[in-house]
Amino acid sequence: MEPLALILIGLGALIALGVGLWYLLWLTEGMYLGWRVVALLYDWYAFRYDRTKNYDPVYETFFLARPLLHRLQTEGVAAPLVLDVATGTGRMPALLLEQDDFQGRVVGLDISRKMLFRAALKLYRQRRAALIWHTASDLPFFDNTFDVVTCIEAWEFFPGAREDLRELVRVLRPGGTLLITNRTGTDARLMPGKTLSTAAMQAWLTDELGLVDVQHERWQVDYDLFWAHKAGSSVPVGPRPLAEILRCPACCAGQMIPTESGAWVCLSCEQRAAVGEDGVIELLPLLREGGC
């Protein structure tokens, strides 16, 4: 073969490799490569995440915190127990706890340990917040536990994508509120199987997940908001302590409680979970193959 042809083939292969890596690692942030890659990329990204995002506190309060608290107040939920799935650096917990009229408790869960470390710095000394290192695909909580479940800019990264939203609904109490984003815009079209059109998202939440009062709201250039309720009704859970709601991810049945040493132990299978120096409860090492 001519040297020029070899050079052109080599160049083409390099460009194809570069585009492939850009797509898999940058544009789609590892979402097609499994949760371990997503966690690793967010671990690398954690130290500059807040700087890059540069959220406007007024905008955050006006579009996320106030509408959520307003809805809860009109429903008579004075002190909600909130779960923020894929909490990242603690955006939602910090925002809620900044609101003078938020009387509840908030649990943040994420797969990236370093994102949680950043969240822990933000929530330092906040007695009404807890952070858990675990996957969203298999939430370590009993059914019908939370008054509110939020999931902001995240579910497209979950291994099961829209299928994993079933877990969010499982842990929400009947009548509880779900606040979730849906990715839109050009990038969303480049993520087949991981994103849904507005109509498909509406149908998924209603027909497949059985949610009611599903409402869509335009929010940012690349994300919309969806509000919904879990069908049925039940009395608000309120700010229950973590020791009453944490399900062991190893045996999938036992309740996890704190020990004097600081670790958490399962009352059923006696598996132990460490607590980091930053206070994050490290349940991920207990994850059972195949989930619960």
Please, which of residues 80-99 interact with ligand SAM by CB under 6 A? 86-88, 91
* Bridging pattern class, strands 172-183 and 146-151: parallel
Residue 156 within binding range of ligand SAM, rule CB under 6 A: no
Give 265 or 281: the residue with its C-beta nearer to ligand SAM.
Answer: 281
Give 91 or 247: the residue with its C-beta nearer to ligand SAM.
Answer: 91
β-sheet with 129-133: strand ranges across = 211-218, 223-230, 172-183, 146-151, 81-85, 105-110, 129-133, 281-282, 272-275, 264-266, 256-258
- The three-point CA angle 244-248-250 to 5° equals 175
| DSSP assignment string, 162-221 | GGGHHHHHHHEEEEEEEEEEEE-HHHHHTSTTT---HHHHHHIIIIIT-EEEEEEEE-SS
Residue 194 · residue 161 · CB < 8 Å: yes
Residue 265 within binding range of ligand SAM, rule CB under 6 A: no
Nearest distance from C-beta of residue 105 to ligand SAM, angstroms: 18
Choose the stretch contacting ligand SAM; rule: CB under 6 A; options: 71-79, 96-104, 110-118, 184-192: 110-118
Residue 157 within binding range of ligand SAM, rule CB under 6 A: yes
Q: How far apart are CA 143 and CA 147, in angstroms?
A: 12
φ, ψ dihedrals at 2, nearest 5°: -60, 140
Out of 83, 131, 137, 145, the residue judged to bind ligand SAM by CB under 6 A: 137
* Site track 35-64 with ligand SAM (rule: CB under 6 A), x = hit: x--xx--x----------------------
Residue 152 within binding range of ligand SAM, rule CB under 6 A: yes
- Residue nearest ligand SAM, CB atom distance: 88
Residue 110 within binding range of ligand SAM, rule CB under 6 A: yes
Closest-CA residue to 183 (of 196, 165, 167, 166): 196
Choose the stretch contacting ligand SAM; rule: CB under 6 A; options: 131-139, 218-226, 240-248, 251-259: 131-139
Residue 168 within binding range of ligand SAM, rule CB under 6 A: no
Nearest distance from C-beta of residue 283 to ligand SAM, angstroms: 11
Residue 182 within binding range of ligand SAM, rule CB under 6 A: no
Residue 111 within binding range of ligand SAM, rule CB under 6 A: yes
The binding site for ligand SAM (CB under 6 A) comprises 35, 38-39, 42, 86-88, 91, 110-112, 115, 135-137, 152-154, 157-158
